[in-house]
Amino acid sequence: MSRPGASGDKNKPYPDAWEQVADLRVFRTDARDWDRLATWRTDMRKRGWKLLKVTSDDVELVAVFGKTKTKSDLNPASA
């Protein structure tokens, strides 16, 4: 079975620190439909997202995509 993120939340399959530096999207599908990930990855890459992590178990495949936050995203008080 896949390990949850550092937060211990199964719905958040990445370390808490990632949220500080990147916008994140989580793709979930049945493990038997893993081939859908290739199409989704291509679509996300066209929009500037990178595949950061993939985990799977007998039931589910989880892919985490990220896009680095801009300086104004990181420090909204200066924007």
Domain that holds residue 32: 1-68
The answer as to whether 73 is a domain residue is no
Global pTM reads: 0.74
The answer as to whether 16 is a domain residue is yes
The answer as to whether 74 is a domain residue is no
The answer as to whether 58 is a domain residue is yes
The answer as to whether 59 is a domain residue is yes
Of the two residues 6 and 20, the one the predictor is more confident about is 20
The answer as to whether 50 is a domain residue is yes
The answer as to whether 77 is a domain residue is no
**CA distance readout (Å), 27 to 15, 31, 37, 78:** 16, 12, 8, 32
Distance CA 67, CA 4 (A): 21
Number of domains the chain contains: 1
> Is the predicted pLDDT of residue 55 greater than 70, yes or no?
yes
In percent, the amount of the chain with pLDDT more than 70 equals 81
